Amino acid sequence: MEESITTNDIKKEHREKIKQVFREVGKVVVGQEYMLNRLLIGLFTQGHILLEGVPGLAKTLTVSTLAKVLHLDFQRIQFTPDLLPADLIGTMIYNQKKANFEVKKGPIFANMILADEINRSPAKVQSALLESMQEKQVTIGEETFELDRPFLVMATQNPVDQEGTYPLPEAQVDRFMLKVHVDYPNKDEELEVMRRMSNLSFNGEVGTVLSKEDIFAIRSEINQVSISESLERYIIELIFASRNPKEYGLDTEAGFIQFGASPRASINLNLAAKATAFFDERDYVLPEDIKEVADDVLNHRIILNYEAEADGITTHDIINSILKKIPINS
């Protein structure tokens, strides 16, 4: 009994620290709580996050401020058309004094990586992130190096219809746990942004809230959040409905889907729902938790065809139809 009370106290402390993270980031970033929530879900479930939105929406500022609040090693990599894979992971350089080759590690060797405007670089550079994101390791020459833990890639991209962008390969997009669409601030938020950023004495100082040990402990606590078998099966039904829509009475949607969600979708939907429940101070998952994160987990994994584009149908429309159609069996 005493141990249970201690465990609950620790969970309560961690949840309060998470709230404090929001407050600290809020000292610099106005609004964008939704984006910050998704970044923390990724951090606590070992998932990578793709942020999409037009320039100027504080994507980079939010990620860099979060890194300061968490006191983690942080590297920002600006993706450009002339960037090379070696610029990310590192390369072998010749040491003339020692007459041998040595490894020079790249910026990928950090806890938090901000891949800024990832779709400004061609596919070969984008693909250089694959091994690090999936395997948490990189290979330079003939040597393989483990990356530091925690390790989180947060990539920003501009909408792909903008000039000078390269769509990410589908295999790489699937590596991201969530794809979060970042929208414009409302009028009150933008007014506060204008006032704050027009103040030349504003320094944006933030305090450190979570340690690495806290992060690992929170991961363990989220892992202990329970999910019923009926909700596990509900997740599977959602994923299979995206692959075989006609079997679920989604005949109209079937004409627009080229490929359904991958197996990573069910894994990530489960993890994100558990994190959402934990943030809501529960030790069990509700159907609302799954629905809350379904769009961000699935919107980059359901590939639509040209008919959908011609008719103005988006993945958000398809996901909403699936959520409305698939019942939750108790």
The backbone torsions φ and ψ at residue 48, rounded to the nearest 5 degrees and listed phi first, read -100, 150
Neighbours of 118 (CB within 10 A): 26
pLDDT score for 104: 80
pLDDT score for 115: 87
pLDDT score for 2: 45
Domain with CATH 1.10.8.80 in the chain: 224-325
Q: Which has the higher per-residue pLDDT, 3 or 265?
A: 265
pLDDT score for 296: 94
pLDDT score for 1: 40
Share of the chain above pLDDT 90, in %: 24
pLDDT score for 319: 92
pLDDT exceeds cutoff 70 at 4: no
Return the CATH number of 224-325, one of 3.40.50.2300, 1.10.630.10, 1.10.1060.10, 1.10.8.80. Answer: 1.10.8.80
pLDDT, tens digit, for every residue of 79-113? 888 888 888 888 878 777 777 777 788 888 888 88
CATH, domain range 14-199+210-217? 3.40.50.300
pLDDT, tens digit, for every residue of 36-82? 899 999 999 988 999 888 777 778 888 888 888 888 888 888 888 88
User: What is the rounded CA–CA span in Å between residue 202 and residue 180?
Assistant: 28
Give all strands (DSSP E) within the chain, no chain letters. 48-52, 74-78, 90-95, 100-105, 112-116, 137-140, 143-146, 152-157, 176-181, 257-259, 303-304
pTM: 0.86
User: What is the rounded CA–CA span in Å between residue 69 and residue 71?
Assistant: 6
Rounded to an integer, the average pLDDT of 220-244 is 93
Domain with CATH 3.40.50.300 in the chain: 14-199+210-217
pLDDT score for 232: 94
Share of the chain above pLDDT 70, in %: 94
**Secondary structure (3-state) at 192:** helix
